[in-house]
Chain A
Amino acid sequence: MNKQQAIFDLALWMGDNTLILGHRLSELCGHGPILEQDIALTNIALDLVGQSRMWLSLAGEVEGKDRTEDDFAYYRGERDFTNVKLVEMPNHHWGYVIARQFIYDAHHLAILEQLVDSSDQAIADIAAKAIKEVQYHLRFSSEWMIRMGDGTAVSHEKAQTSLEDLAPYIKSLTLTDEISTFAAAEGIGFDAGRVEQEAWATMQKVLEEATLKLEPSEYYHKGGKQGLHTEHMGFILAEMQSVVRAMPGNTW
């Protein structure tokens, strides 16, 4: 194991998470509950896919095999994607979409807060760009958690159920393996324990105001980073890659 591998592994994981979540949000463009919210959610999708491009390009550079951002996005199969399962979950309804976003944002921000000080300059640079966007994402999703939680009985119930449904997917954002532990030790990556603590503190503060409850789930879903995904993932990739795979080798 070396530093290059650790950078590659982290950049790919960040790039895959942001790509798949950005893709999920992009499905909603034109279908939002209010025109203003449609625009706001599309903004987040734009930020995430934009960040993914930076991470995947970095992965390609450190790998040194001439793979581009698009090679990673369009020419890999499901088992090669390293994203957590949380970001694959479908857009059931606004409450679910926001809860998914809220959980991700809280962790994403805590991760970036450490990565801005990464010993690898390229990682630190991307994190510094991304962190301003993610602060806004978290503000947006927090405000909506509060609005739903402290809105009507219906919205409260929808937000609460969504949190419970998503709870088993939270832990995977801070699971470690040999290479991420190495990255943390080298100051390249992040300390997952700290991220977990900070993200939960952020979430609990918002949820208290929202009169909603979330407990760490006793059981949680593993996989994701190891290339084992939910049933949804195959459809996401089938759709996303369809044009490129039907006519491989072309420039678009």
Chain B
Amino acid sequence: MIEKNLNQIFQARIDSEEKIEARDWMPEKYRQTLIRQISQHAHSEVVGMLPEGNWITRAPSLRRKVALLAKVQDEAGHGLYLYSAAETLGAKRSDLIQQLLDGTAKYSSIFNYPTLSWADIGAIGWLVDGAAIMNQVMLCRTSYGPYARAMVRICKEESFHQRQGYEIMIALSKGSEEQKAMAQDALNRWWWPSLMMFGPNDAESKHTAQSMAWKIKRKTNDELRQAFVDATVPQAEYLGLTIPDADLKWNEERGHYDFGPIDWDEFWQVVKGYGQCNKERIAARRKAEEEGEWVREAALAYAEKQRIKKENQKTKVA
């Protein structure tokens, strides 16, 4: 009876656009949904460092090297904000990381695709950060306060990443024939996986309805995907590159671009762990975790020694 009332009050707060804060009562399922979503998001930021990190040492100018380093570093920062947001819900960062390492937590499948040329760094910034922004702009208004505030900070940096990626694409597509071909090849490989980033079609998506009611999500997967296509097609045209979709065309009536069918078999293959890089990404995170173990232990041991020292000094003074 009381639970039912609380639920009603909670939903009424959501409906009147109040932000839910860490100490507020919330349905257990709301909490669990958020922990799952925020931690997946955090893992995506951290795993997302790997495909781009793959090109830091080969960036073709010092200016690009610095920009890429700064970008990948930003993603680490995003991971931190998001783990902190998840911790406000009672989750522990070390537990969440453990879930990533043992394969029980998911992260964005896009990062299981390989980065094969320098142009991929441009394409990722332009398309992958671009798709992420569509999702994240929406999340700036998500109903859970700490998550919404983390997203506001993150969004600013993501749009910078997107511009930076697009700028790489401009340089390549205005460059030599070889560079242009490299840019086109990257677009060919990243286009469809970027569309898949928005998740299954609405009819197929199991979490969407409840998340919409709780205003964790405010737009459906298909709405976001459409917005992304509409925004990106003119950008590809400006570059003089061709989007690899024969069915892509402007639909006057809908006021949107129509686009061809997504290969959902490929989507599920990668989600289920059989993308090109799933194993390598997790192995890289595990390696960092294992090699860092003695470092974390040393830091803890030192901090503990310092604490004891301070305590002894205090008792001496007293």
Contact = CB atoms under 8 A, between A and B. Distances in A.
A94 B284 contact: no
A31 B77 contact: no
A33 B175 contact: no
B302 A32 contact: no
A30 B295 CA distance: 16
B60 interface: yes
Given A147-B298, A148-B298, A239-B57, A251 B175 contact: yes
A29 B175 CA distance: 29
Given A26-B56, A240-B58, A243-B58, A158 B294 contact: yes
Interface string B25-60: 000000000000000000000100110010011111
A52 B62 contact: yes
Nearest to A37: B295
A26 B65 contact: yes
A147 B57 CA distance: 29
Given A46-B70, A94-B292, A29 B53 contact: yes
B209 interface: no
Given A30-B72, A73-B62, A147 B53 contact: no
Interface in A139-177: 146-148, 150-152, 154-155, 158
A151 B70 contact: no
A242 B54 CA distance: 13
A29 B69 contact: yes
Contacts of B248: none
Contacts of A123: none
Contact of A49 (B69, B77, B297, B301): B69
B79 interface: yes
Given A242-B58, A252-B64, A151 B69 contact: no
Contact of A155 (B69, B70, B297): B297
Interface in A192-224: none
B76 interface: yes
Contacts of A34: 292, 295-296, 299
A248 B237 CA distance: 27
A70 B61 contact: yes
A53 interface: yes
A53 B83 CA distance: 35
Given A251-B175, A252-B171, A152 B79 contact: no
A148 B56 CA distance: 28
A143 B246 CA distance: 58
Contact of A152 (B69, B287, B292, B298): B298
A50 B58 CA distance: 16
9 interchain residue pairs of minimum CB distance: A33-B292, A151-B298, A155-B298, A30-B53, A30-B49, A252-B60, A33-B295, A243-B60, A42-B73
Given A26-B56, A34-B292, A70-B62, 15 more contacts: A31-B288, A38-B76, A39-B73, A53-B62, A53-B66, A70-B61, A94-B292, A148-B295, A150-B302, A154-B297, A154-B298, A155-B298, A239-B58, A247-B178, A249-B176
Interface of A: 19, 23, 26-27, 29-39, 42-43, 45-46, 49-50, 52-53, 56, 69-70, 73-74, 93-95, 146-148, 150-152, 154-155, 158, 239-240, 242-244, 247, 249-252
19 contacts: A29-B49, A30-B49, A31-B53, A31-B287, A36-B80, A37-B295, A39-B80, A43-B73, A49-B65, A49-B69, A53-B62, A152-B301, A155-B294, A155-B298, A240-B58, A247-B176, A247-B178, A250-B178, A252-B168
